[in-house]
Amino acid sequence: MKMIPFGATGLSVPAVALGCMRLPRLSDEEAKTYVRTALELGANFFDHADIYGSGESERIFGRAIRGIPREDLLIQSKCGIVPGKRYDFSKKHILDSVDGILSRLGVEYLDSLLLHRPDALMEPEEVAEAFAVLLESGKVRHFGVSNQNPMQMELLGKYLPVPITADQLQLSLTNCTMISQGMEVNMATPGAAARDGYVLDYCRIHNVTIQPWSPFQYGMFEGVFLGSEKFPALNAAVDSLAAKYGVTPVTVTVAWLLRHPAKLQPIIGSMNLSRIREAVAACDLVLTRQEWYDLYLAAGNILP
């Protein structure tokens, strides 16, 4: 397993993380197999959120890891969404959420806690108070955000007791505006629009690990682009490289993300053990510069 720095923490983590949103699809026995297979592959970084399965994902995972030494696991969860009602970054909500997360997981601490999407009513001083309590109590070791732009992180960072470690953002071959805006600088093309405030460059400057979510999806959960008739050129390019290297399209797709020098940590949400193995195999495939750009262009992006 390829290891990368986790923000500025000094901690090394697997380059491929596993997302646990779909765990409720598995039986308890299947979940145990999922966890043990991941550990055998060196993929011991698991990403949760308190809303996944209305908490059931964490309960299933908690049962699946019984008997596994806590130090063998890197567990991250997210909080802040009250589904269909609001976002809530209040001190009380964060503290209550973490207590619920730990209880469902059956562990004493999280390696990382992310704020789940931005809260328009966020009071950064209150978030900082919550993080300080969690840090001092030992319930959370590192903190991050999801889907936040640079100025939102700057605002939080003004008050937080520790640096922001990670930002979870949508990024894939078909959703790569954070890359295209840096390529199409000073152009009147759609890809030139800085929709996220140049978050990719910001995170590289400030040692914030970007965790791409939905690395196989196009649009906003519209579907998987691999094998889709909507992306013939992209699939032809991916298939060609897969045949060249004797791997699968999943491996090539993840390798494209890992080839970026930002040291991305893509989150693989599949419960399919074969697909997880294929994703982890990307750690051993380093695309050439030309191959990376060929895929970028095949996905419909342009070069000035």
CA angle 30, 31, 33 (to 5 degrees): 65
Question: Which two tokens mark 137?
Answer: 């109590």
CA 202 vs CA 31, 182, 262: distances in Å: 37, 12, 11
| Catalytic entry in 52, 202, 218, 296 | 52
Q: Which residue has the tokens 């519209």?
A: 222
Q: How far is the CA of 215 from the CAs of 42, 97, 203, in angstroms?
A: 20, 27, 18
Instruction: List the beta strands (DSSP E) in 68-225.
Output: 74-79, 81-82, 86-87, 112-115, 143-146, 166-170, 209-213, 217-218, 223-224
Tell me how far apart the alpha carbons of residues 268 and 93 are, in angstroms, rounded to a whole number: 28
The closest of 39, 31, 74, 33 to 56, measured between CA atoms, is: 31
CA atoms within 13 A on the CB side of 82: 11
The three-point CA angle 112-118-107 to 5° equals 25
Q: Determine whether 52 is an active site residue.
A: yes
Q: How far is CA 148 from the centre of its chain?
A: 13
What residues are annotated to the active site? 52
